[in-house]
Chains A and B, each alone.
Chain A
Amino acid sequence: MSDKPQSIIGAGVPRIDGPDKLSGRANYAADNLPPNLAYGYGVFSTIASGKISQLSVDEARQMPGVIDIFHHSHFPSLYRTPSSFAQGNKVEETRLPFEDERVYYDGQFVALVVADTFENARAAARRVKVTYAADKAVANLDQGVEANGTQAGSGNHDRGDAASAFDSAAATIDATYRTPVETHNPMEMHASTAWWDNGDLTIFDASQGVVVARNALAKIFAIPPERITVHAPYIGSGFGSKLWTWPHAIATAAASRELGRPVQLVVPRQQMFTTTGHRPETRQRLRLATDDNGRLVSLRHESINTTSYTDQYVETCGSVTKSLYHCPNLTVSHETTQVNRGTPTSMRAPGAAPGLFALESAIDEMADAVGIDPVQFRLDNYAERDESKDLPFSSNHIVEATKRAADRFGWADRKPEVGSMKEGREIVGYGMAACNWEALKMACDARVSIRADGTAFASCATQDIGTGTYTIVAQAVSDVTGIPIDRITVKLGDSSYPDGPVSGGSWATATTLPAIAGAARNALDEMKRYATGSNGAFAGASSDDLEVADGGLRNADGKQVSFADILQAGRYGSADGEAHTEGADSKYSYRSFGAHFVEVRWDPGISRLRVARVVSAIDVGRVINETTARNQVEGAVVMGIGMGLFEATEYDERNARPVNNDYAEYVVPVHADQPEIDVILLDYPDLAFNEYGARGIGEIGVTGLAAAVANAVHHATGKRIRELPITLDKLMDDVPQVRSA
């Protein structure tokens, strides 16, 4: 069905939500200003561990406009959600806001001021006096391991005997890599606007998952999910930080119910570093061994990540390691350690992003150790089937991706000797790395209506988080019905629509499109029933004799009637279809593949490191929208450059407070840092995965990129930087050490 020439599937259809965003009509969570709205502002803990000993609201209560101030001894009692992914009521931080007087991290909500204006709420929040009994804070991974040891994680894997294979191998490496906390920092602040009406809760929330948010809130407020509607028509991105409901949304809904009026809360940028998740710090030990021919014979990937005292979050750094390379003896293990930070959460390519930094750096080190070109080493060792699941891959073109990217990049011109490629004052470094991401697909419902005015309407309770979901849904409807894009309305981001997936895991496309297409086909079947019924345009004909053509139905004689006329004839407002599709089966291992090639330039005279060029070849099945797909990879490459060179949330090791907590000091790449980015999309449909053959493209581009940068840095400078980010000071020689404290 999607193989016709010039299919709208694959075309670079411009975003259908673009004009709304450009003109400011797009409605974000904090843009909702219902009548009688009150504004919340948080009071946040200034210690990272201990107890509130006293909380005084006397002065704040007297401030202009203050309506109420909530805290641990003045807050309704709520219930914890079971936080089950399977049940669809997951949250990352299970502790409820203001549950008790305990403080587990700096920047934890300790009170919520509600006032008539934002400014009054904020002014009063600063007059809430809190005194604490502070305990010694555990400020980072090393301190956590020292103080608390580690706890077993999940996602472990063992095959063969990695230890003895290592001991008897021809060549080995053993290296430890570290990645820092990264904070998602979407442009749009986390925000909630909530109100209650006769016991029904409506909440506009900056959410990547309206259905799960609804279900979690239902558990927390102990009311049926039908009484809650969560809206997120637009999200100023999330990168994972908006997947699950955080304390501020719960507090906002509760305050609104207590006060009997709408309440809005926007999380300040500083607290987006504390109370809405982050990518945790990791420490990863990689041990690799090869035989005489440079084939991997042993691979161990052991990682520890930081988690909070309230919840265990496992960063599955070894998720890709299990299956990317052929290796008979392999161990992947994950452990966590508790520190005084908020609960971590998924950040774009969780597990794989930090994990592939370590693995793909280690593969480079291994190739180096045995004197094989890193591209050749990978080609020699890539797995042909998923050895962790003992399943074939549904579709795997990593060899072609690697070769095509290498060609386009000009890898053949690389002189292997460290520091040997120079241009003017700069030393040029070439590096590469594989990228990889699991292809996931969830269950999904959708509805499509073809309407009497000749337009179509599609709805699904998934979200467009800025990636283009609105547009590809319209493309799928157009593909099935032939109705042009500009006559298709798509509604997402409303939990009262048919249940759709959380926008995460790069599964939105593969999950949503089959359900949308199924619903569109069911709507066409309904249309045919109307057309063939008594008084119908094709009265008496069989549905099987009608085909869809040019926005209508046509019979074998060439008689053509438009959808609008068919519906008008029967006085029907619309022909509707719904569909339900299931998650992925387990016949294959479904994964996406690719390779990044990176050129860095190191100017030792001014210690300037920059990424000059990136070529990425990506194999994600069929590309649904050429423009938005390319944009996802380009954006992910930029994020990967940030991960490689700049990004780190710095905690004061004395008190566990995040220090560089704003957009000026938390450094992400800006335009001036952008290299030439050349993205090759392989576009091989994976029809075993779903009817469109699409696997999803949001995350894979960020995996492996930081390793490719680090490998290029090694080629240029001879320095193996095993701790991200690769800031210039790590590349400088003879840096004086501290002279005073």
Chain B
Amino acid sequence: MRHFDYARAESAQQAVAAHGSDREVSFLAGGTTLLDLVKLDVMQPDKIVDINGVSLDEIERLDDGRLRIGAMVTNTALARDRRVVEDYAVLSQALLAGASTQLRNKATTGGNVMQRVRCPYFRDGVSDCNKREPGSGCAAIGGVNRTVHAVLGTSDDCIATHPSDMCVAMIAIGATIEVQGPEGVREIDFADFHLLPGDTPAREHALEPGELITHVVLDAPLDGSRSGYLKLRDRQSYQFALASSAVIVQMDGNTITDARVAMGGVGTKPWRAPEVEAALKGKSASERLFAEAAKLAFENAIAYSQNGYKIPLGQQAIVRNLSDLTAA
């Protein structure tokens, strides 16, 4: 491990102040992404600001019905929170489908939003990788890309999936990220937070240097809706999604009055599929409708050397989730 400076912050302001922004600085939350990558020498911070002393571990219901989650709330605590289980089943399920119990006990809400890609060429510290070494190329294109590479939102410069399950549920629910910066606080729409790789894959999110996520605020739940998360993978636990879907549906009889659909494992960012939602709205639920709607999500998909199967698999994740949720 490289030598780095270490500071402990007691408040968000302190954390941001301790961060500064001139050097390579990382906040330390659960450490399950950060320490892993530091040990691999892939992330090379000069300084680590430990935010475990910052009290951002509350979950509160706001007056407007939204749910405000502190950045340091662990994945386990969030998944088990009664309000989440009742109003946002999709989120609880997504969290519990992620990683392992030990990791979820350490992993935090802010850290999960900020987790890095699982692309092995990024992690090996050697291969060409535009994310790690801008301009070096992308070894995953034409390489081993069966599991953690995307078919949606890719570019010639990067095809890695955003690996989070939690974020897929959040983008389906709709959320706002609250940020503390050197200049004060600001809000970022969750949908705008993660960036497509384009020709700048090293830039992954909308935070400015030194900014700290303090909260994620979930939109109020859709009235009378049902929701669920379906994650498909090789083994039944402890693997990132090959394809997943987060679905929220509101029904009137057999008619879908509103729907939210997002996908994981297939996109370079948590992937909302508005075209699928539009195709579902106002229609009568049927397998055929689901299949037609799901197809729309992949119209612009690009298959790489080993991951073409994600195009049908992603559709299956949507269709099955919809049929389970709409079953009487």
Contacts and interface: CB of A to CB of B under 8 A. Distances in A.
B38 to A, nearest CB: 11
A646 B127 CA distance: 25
A673 B143 contact: no
B144 A732 contact: no
B232 A735 contact: no
6 contacts: A64-B3, A605-B316, A606-B313, A650-B146, A652-B144, A672-B235
Contacts of B234: 645-646, 667, 727-728
A34 B59 CA distance: 49
Determine which residue in B147, B230, B317 has the highest number of CB atoms from chain A within 10 A of its CB, and name it. B147
A671 B237 CA distance: 8
Given A605-B320, A672-B235, A673-B236, A652 B143 contact: yes
B interface majority secondary structure:
loop
Interface string B288-328: 00000000000001111100110111001101100000000
Contacts of B232: 606-608, 728
A119 interface: yes
A606 B320 contact: yes
Determine which residue in A126, A645, A736, A739 has the highest number of CB atoms from chain B within 10 A of its CB, and name it. A736
A46 interface: yes
B281 to A, nearest CB: 23
Determine which residue in B3, B144, B313 has the highest number of CB atoms from chain A within 10 A of its CB, and name it. B144
Given A607-B232, A659-B143, A736 B308 contact: yes
A39 B118 CA distance: 30
B239 A735 contact: no
Contacts of A270: 124
B6 interface: no
A737 interface: yes
Contacts of A1: none
Contacts of B144: 650-652, 659-660
B121 interface: yes
A603 B124 CA distance: 35
A553 B244 CA distance: 71
Determine which residue in B127, B230, B309, B312 has the highest number of CB atoms from chain A within 10 A of its CB, and name it. B309
B146 A729 contact: yes
Given A654-B143, A735-B308, A736-B311, A123 B3 contact: yes
B309 A729 contact: yes
B239 A667 contact: yes
Interface in B146-171: 146-148, 156
Interface residues of A, number: 45
A737 B303 contact: yes
A190 interface: no
A740 interface: yes
B103 to A, nearest CB: 10
Given A606-B317, A729-B146, A740 B236 contact: no
A654 B142 contact: yes
Given A646-B234, A728-B242, A738-B305, 11 more contacts: A606-B313, A606-B316, A645-B235, A654-B142, A659-B143, A669-B235, A670-B238, A727-B146, A736-B308, A737-B308, A739-B303
Given A122-B1, A735-B309, A741-B141, A46 B41 contact: no
Contacts of B239: 664, 667
A735 B315 CA distance: 12
Given A665-B118, A667-B235, A46 B139 contact: no
A119 B127 CA distance: 24
A661 interface: yes
A104 B232 CA distance: 38
Contacts of B235: 645-646, 667-670, 672-673
A90 interface: no
A665 B147 contact: yes
B142 to A, nearest CB: 5
A610 interface: yes
Determine which residue in A119, A672, A673, A735 has the highest number of CB atoms from chain B within 10 A of its CB, and name it. A735
Contact of B303 (A610, A668, A673, A738): A738
8 residue pairs, one from A and one from B, having the closest CB atoms:
A729-B309, A672-B236, A672-B237, A659-B144, A736-B308, A735-B309, A736-B303, A650-B144
A423 interface: no
A734 interface: yes
A107 to B, nearest CB: 10
A706 to B, nearest CB: 15
Contacts of B319: 605
Interface in A605-654: 605-608, 610, 645-646, 650-652, 654
Given A46-B126, A736-B303, A740-B304, A670 B312 contact: no
A665 B304 contact: no
